[in-house]
């Protein structure tokens, strides 16, 4: 893909993934965008110099310290100080792709011109993305309002420097060329000069929903890919359990008018087309819910993922710091700083909670199919634990244990974070979203479900091998999926370690390697 151009208006989820995950370059700022940035930043500097107006966070302290006026000559130092004060993150570092997404989103939202920053600041973020400097950001410490202060400050401290200190002062840590370095050293090796922040620029860098939006966007991308693999795993299990196709009849789906149900049923029908395993048991009347209700469970999940995307993607271009700068009159050159709450992540928190719940249900119903596959009373003639000579061999008993443990873990992780709030900042910030916790928990749920689906694919493939001539009786799509799995994962003839097989399949799911075989 060619370079991604950011302008504060047109960034898409696909572009974010290209930059964050595939290291696609970001184009230099256009002259038009630079002009927009210079106008609002110039107004801020003139207002500071005149010392006639009191503007929150620009010439005042923060939170309950907003009544403390800052001298004009200290406005720039205030910008650096707020970043240093917010370096309170704890826990393991965020993955590099999430940090890169944060850098891109922050650079893009600053381009709206409402934050009052210089082009230099935005271009430095772009240069860091293109030069491979990735700040180390602890994963915990954000309340989701006033935005993601701690994570963003750990990002911003690498690109900024002290106003007075000759060597630039504290610079955090950053990755460069696979090495974790002092932030200043990483920037030096990349040939990027750290910036002395001007008035408001520190606040513009750290105040906003950027971690929530960025992590949420990556969660959506992963959830969409996972969903496609989940449908494929369900089709493999339908084959392995010689399920009935009647439950996927198009007229039955249309009669319910449930969003997404029709699409999922059509996808399953397409995968098992020409199957000789499906409908091969003439005595069966109907299947258990884990098979029969696949469209009614998975279909709405996809619908909800799409709904959540439709709400989160616009925020890639949203200005979320405080205050924001606007023209006082469209026909004049005067501006006004308006204090508000665009940094509040309640929407993000609820949507990400919902996403986590939806993805957890993908894993929930998947594990039920895995359980049926290894249980002889439920598997329509398959041997116990899907292994020859059961007893001497334990077979695929234990992978189901892992799937069950992950499903249980998800039930805890899916508890809504958005219903919680702990007041902070001297009760000035008396309601917060906890959306950053929602983002972390949802990403963990997705990782869990990737492994649950990997276990279902492992188990279903083994069951197919144990059916008489099973691999040669599969449908058109399931044949391709089965062959892709067997290229990397061998059948289980006797007990052996299976965690590497699960890891291999999980990687194939994450990279869409199995799903991509369907279009080859």
CATH of the domain at 228: 1.20.200.10
Please check whether residues 279 and 194 belong to one and the same domain: no
Q: Tell me the backbone φ, ψ of residue 259, rounded to 5 degrees.
A: -55, 130
Highest-pLDDT range among 153-167, 321-335, 451-465: 451-465
User: pLDDT-based confidence at 168, cuts 50/70/90?
Assistant: confident
Q: What is the mean pLDDT of residues 455-465?
A: 98
For residue 335, tell me if it sits in a domain: no
Domain that holds residue 120: 13-208
Predicted confidence at residue 211, as pLDDT, reads: 98
Query: Domain total for the chain?
Result: 2
CATH number of the domain that residue 142 is part of: 1.10.275.10
**What average pLDDT does range 416-443 have in this prediction?**
95
Q: Give CA–CA dist 48/203, Å, rounded.
A: 15
Of the candidates 381, 386, 364, 389, the one whose C-alpha atom is nearest the C-alpha of residue 298 is 364
Which band of pLDDT confidence, cut at 50, 70 and 90, is reported for residue 167? confident
220 and 162, same structural domain?
Answer: no
Q: Which percentage of the chain shows pLDDT scores above 70?
A: 99
**Which of 97-106, 213-222, 323-332, 463-472 shows the lowest per-residue confidence on average (mean pLDDT)?**
323-332
**What is the rounded end-to-end Cα distance, in angstroms, of the chain?**
22
Looking at the structure, tell me whether residues 311 and 363 fall in a common domain. Answer: yes
Of 157, 176, 208, at which residue does a domain stop? 208
Considering the domain boundaries, does residue 324 fall inside one? no
Q: What is the pLDDT of residue 312?
A: 98
- Residue-level pLDDT at 238: 98
What per-residue confidence (pLDDT) applies to 342?
96
Q: What confidence tens digit (pLDDT) does each residue in 214-234 have?
A: 999 999 999 999 999 999 999
Looking at the domain assignment, is residue 415 inside a domain? yes
Q: How far apart are CA 303 and CA 392, in angstroms?
A: 46
Dump the DSSP string for 182-197.
EHHHHHHHHT---B--
Whether residues 28 and 147 fall in one domain:
yes
- 157 shares its domain with 293: no
37 and 150 co-located in one domain: yes
For the annotated catalytic residues, the residue numbers are 56
Same domain, residue pair 281 and 355: yes
Count CA atoms within 13 Å of residue 4 on its CB side: 28
pLDDT at 332: 61
Tokens of 309: 């995307």
Domain end (from 176, 192, 208):
208
The Cα-based distances of 362 to 149, 246, 296 in angstroms read: 33, 22, 12
pLDDT surpasses 80 at 166 = no
Q: State residue 56's pLDDT score.
A: 92
Both 79 and 220 in a single domain?
no
Residues 186 and 232 occupy one common structural domain: no
In a domain, 8, yes or no: no
* Averaged confidence pLDDT in the chain: 96
Same domain, 366 and 243: yes
> Looking at residues 420-443, what average pLDDT do you find?
95
Q: Which of 153-162, 190-199, 202-211, 425-434 is the least confident region? A: 425-434
> Are residues 201 and 219 located together in one domain of the fold?
no
Burial (CB count <10 Å: 0-12, 13-18, 19+), residue 307: middle
In a domain, 414, yes or no: yes
CA-nearest of 93, 120, 89, 95 to 20 is: 95
Q: What is the average per-residue pLDDT within 98-124?
A: 98
**Among the three residues 190, 208, 226, which one is the final residue of a domain in this structure?**
208
Q: Are residues 196 and 100 in the same domain?
A: yes
Q: What is the pLDDT of residues 122-157, one digit of tens each?
A: 999 999 999 999 999 999 999 999 899 999 999 999
- List Cβ neighbours of 296 (8 Å cut-off, separation of 6 or more): 256, 258, 261
Q: Is 180 helix (H, G, I), strand (E, B) or coil?
A: strand
- 277, part of any domain: yes
Report if pTM > 0.95: yes
């Amino acid at each position: 893909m060619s370079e991604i151009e950011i302008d504060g208006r047109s960034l898409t989820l696909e572009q974010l993934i290209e930059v964050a995950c595939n290291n696609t370059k970001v184009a230099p700022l256009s002259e038009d965008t630079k002009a927009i940035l210079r106008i609002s930043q110039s107004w801020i500097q003139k207002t500071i110099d005149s010392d006639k107006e009191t503007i929150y966070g620009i010439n005042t302290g923060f939170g309950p310290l907003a009544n403390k006026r800052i001298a004009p000559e200290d406005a720039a130092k205030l910008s650096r100080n707020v970043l240093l004060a917010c370096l309170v993150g704890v826990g393991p570092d965020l993955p590099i792709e999430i940090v890169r997404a944060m850098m891109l989103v922050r650079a893009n939202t600053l381009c709206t011109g409402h934050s009052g920053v210089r082009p230099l600041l935005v271009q430095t973020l772009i240069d860091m993305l293109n030069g491979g400097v990735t700040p180390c950001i602890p994963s915990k410490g954000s309340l989701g309002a006033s935005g993601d202060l701690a994570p963003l400050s750990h990002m911003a401290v690498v690109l900024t420097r002290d106003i007075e200190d000759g060597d630039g002062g504290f610079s955090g840590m950053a990755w460069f060329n696979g090495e974790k370095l002092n932030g200043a050293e990483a920037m030096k090796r990349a040939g990027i000069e750290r910036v002395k922040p001007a008035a408001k620029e520190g606040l513009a860098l750290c105040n906003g929903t950027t971690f929530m939006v960025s992590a949420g966007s990556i969660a959506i991308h992963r959830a969409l890919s996972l969903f496609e693999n989940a449908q494929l795993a369900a089709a493999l299990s339908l084959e392995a359990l010689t399920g009935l196709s009647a439950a996927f009849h198009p007229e039955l789906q249309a009669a319910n008018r449930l969003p997404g149900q029709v699409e999922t049923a059509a996808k399953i029908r397409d995968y098992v087309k020409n199957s000789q395993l499906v409908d091969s048991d003439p005595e069966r009347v109907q299947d258990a819910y884990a098979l029969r209700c696949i469209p009614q469970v998975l279909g709405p999940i996809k619908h909800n993922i799409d709904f959540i995307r439709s709400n989160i993607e616009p925020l890639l271009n949203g200005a979320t710091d405080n205050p924001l700068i606007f023209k006082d009159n469209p026909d004049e050159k005067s501006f006004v700083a308006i204090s508000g709450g665009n940094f509040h992540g309640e929407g993000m928190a609820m949507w990400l909670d919902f996403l986590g719940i939806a993805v957890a249900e993908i894993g929930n119903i998947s594990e039920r199919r895995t359980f049926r596959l290894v249980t002889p009373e439920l598997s329509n003639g398959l041997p116990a634990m899907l292994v020859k000579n059961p007893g001497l061999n334990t077979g695929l008993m234990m992978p189901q244990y892992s799937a069950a443990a992950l499903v249980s873990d998800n039930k805890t992780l899916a508890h809504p974070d958005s219903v919680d709030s702990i007041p902070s900042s001297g009760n000035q910030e008396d309601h917060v979203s906890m959306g950053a916790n929602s983002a972390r928990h949802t990403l963990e749920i997705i990782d869990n479900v990737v492994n649950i689906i990997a276990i279902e694919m492992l188990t279903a493939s083994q069951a197919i091998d144990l059916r008489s001539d099973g691999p040669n009786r599969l449908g058109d799509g399931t044949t391709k999926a089965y062959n892709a799995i067997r290229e990397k994962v061998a059948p289980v003839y006797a007990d052996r370690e299976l965690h590497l097989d699960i890891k291999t399949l999980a990687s194939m799911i994450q990279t869409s390697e199995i799903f991509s075989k369907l279009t080859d």
